[in-house]
Amino acid sequence: MSFAVDPDTTPTFTIFPRLPIELRFKIWESASMATRTLELVYRFSDKRFSTLQPVPAVLRTCQESRRVGTRIYRLSFGTTKFPPRTYFNPISDIVYFGLRVYDDEVAFMLRFFRKHGSSFENEDQIQRLALAEHLWRVDREGSLFPPWRSGRTAKKIERFHESFPRLKELIFVTGQDETESEDDIEEPWQTNDGVSLIKCRSDLAAEQQLAQEAVITTFEARQKEFPDEDFPEVTFVEYGF
């Protein structure tokens, strides 16, 4: 059932331009810190990074909002041949390797960030990274984190961490049904700020617990060896509003 919206009764806020400029700036700053889920991709055809999400709304609302937003968002993810063109806030934005990012793109980006990541400015460092289930599920060939009993697990996780040395949160996305297409899975949760992700509403399955244990155990061992490095919190989320 749908309801028609009467424009004469829709709530509006018309006094915003008359607010003190300091308060308006704080509002724009708050809007600039909203979490976005950026599906970062690397296109081999033109050898550039890009994202599937539009430019942040605060950068295209008005001159005042853009003035504030450009202090927080930086153009990031350039290459030696092409300048950066993705607006990125490393504190609140989640870079998402989702179902619409192919395995060979992920493999390239891991190598790229492992080679160049330590030389990036802090504004370009990925601090929050989410992975679709096909990239971390332990029973899948080619998983970034193979079965925890495998000797390859620790080495793969170490190399993964070397790609993202400032990572503060590693997010595993659950809820993938292999009988569905990528569009069926992710498009229902798509917003202008990317795929909507929420905390898991149920207990983790056995395979998910194994993946979590493998990653945490390896990070704990590396933290003893490299106490000055950053190590991420491992969390699980699912699709939803």
Domain-wise residue ranges, the chain? 35-56+74-239
What does DSSP say about strands 48-51 and 40-43: parallel, antiparallel, or unpaired? Answer: antiparallel
Mean pLDDT of the chain: 84
Is residue 96 exposed (0-12), middle (13-18) or buried (19+ Cβ within 10 Å)?
buried
Count CB atoms within 10 A of the CB of residue 211. Answer: 28
**How far, in Å, CA of 72 to CA of 189, rounded?**
26
Whether residue 9 is predicted with pLDDT greater than 70 in this model: the reply is no
> Is the Cβ–Cβ distance between 206 and 234 less than 8 Å?
no
Residues 6+ apart with CB under 8 A from 71: 32
Its pTM surpasses 0.75: yes
Identify the pLDDT of residue 78: 86
How far, in Å, are 32, 41, 138, 146, 214 from residue 93 at the CA level?
A: 10, 15, 26, 27, 26
Mean pLDDT across 16-43: 93
Percent of the chain with pLDDT over 90: 38
Read off the pLDDT of residues 49-88 as tens digits, 9 standing for 90 and up.
999 899 999 999 999 999 999 999 999 988 888 888 999 9
Whether residue 126 is predicted with pLDDT greater than 90 in this model: the reply is yes
Give me the helices (H) in 53-176, please.
63-72, 103-116, 133-136, 152-163
> Is the Cβ–Cβ distance between 39 and 94 less than 8 Å?
no
C-alpha distance across the termini of the chain, in Å? 20
Q: How many C-alpha atoms does 94 have within 13 Å on its Cβ side?
A: 24
Amino acid at position 15, single letter:
I
